[in-house]
């Protein structure tokens, strides 16, 4: 099993594959964050500057403003699904390959949890 002593964390950080993975993941996450912040801020800005739009009744007492507010839950869920799929498809495979390359020849699947120096695994997390 991989332990903190068997992994050269500095070598992983210097590895161009890790740097590329970190840059791609950071760029993707900043884009998702910007999208979510803009969508979130559209509610108070829209309500302040376009109150007549937000008062339009859609169905009974349900108006556009209420639907827009509730749509934020849908958008956040969609962002979470998008990130999960992107991570599974692109980021996790590169990370697993890096772990496999830097854990004394052990495969990423059998390595168990990889902990940074000084970290303690939760009780029951180790095989």
Average pLDDT taken over every residue of the chain: 83
> Would 1 be classed as within a structural domain?
no
Q: How many domains does the chain have?
A: 1
Report the alpha-carbon distance of residue 10 to residue 7 in Å, rounded: 9
Residue 42 in any domain: the answer is yes
Q: Which of 46-55, 56-65, 89-98, 117-126 has the lowest mean pLDDT?
A: 117-126
Any domain includes 67: yes
Contact 108, 97 (CB under 8 A): yes
The model scores a pTM over 0.75: no
The residue with greater pLDDT, 1 or 34, is: 34
Give domain status of residue 50, yes or no: yes
The boundaries of the domain holding residue 95 are 33-100
Contact 4, 119 (CB under 8 A): yes
Does some domain include residue 38? yes
Please tell me the predicted confidence (pLDDT) of residue 106. Answer: 47
Task: Give the per-residue pLDDT at 108.
Answer: 43
Answer yes or no: is 86 within a domain.
yes
Could you report the per-residue pLDDT of 43-76, keeping only the tens digit for each? 999 999 999 999 999 999 999 999 999 999 999 9
The answer as to whether 45 is a domain residue is yes
b/e map of 28-58 (b: 16 or more CB within 10 Å)? beeeeeeebeeeeeeeeebeeeeeeebeeee
Residues 6+ apart with CB under 8 A from 115: 3, 4, 121
């Amino acid at each position: 099993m991989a332990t903190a002593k068997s992994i050269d964390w500095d070598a992983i950080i210097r590895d161009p594959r890790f740097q590329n993975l970190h840059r791609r993941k950071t760029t993707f996450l900043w884009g998702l964050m910007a999208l979510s912040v803009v969508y979130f801020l559209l509610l108070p800005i829209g309500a302040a500057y376009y109150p007549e739009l937000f008062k339009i009744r859609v169905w009974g007492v349900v108006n556009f403003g209420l639907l827009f507010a509730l749509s934020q839950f849908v958008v956040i869920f969609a962002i979470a699904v998008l990130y999960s799929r992107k991570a599974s498809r692109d980021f996790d495979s590169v990370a697993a390959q890096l772990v496999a390359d830097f854990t004394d020849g052990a495969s990423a699947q059998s390595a168990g949890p990889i902990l940074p120096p000084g970290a303690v695994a939760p009780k029951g997390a180790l095989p």
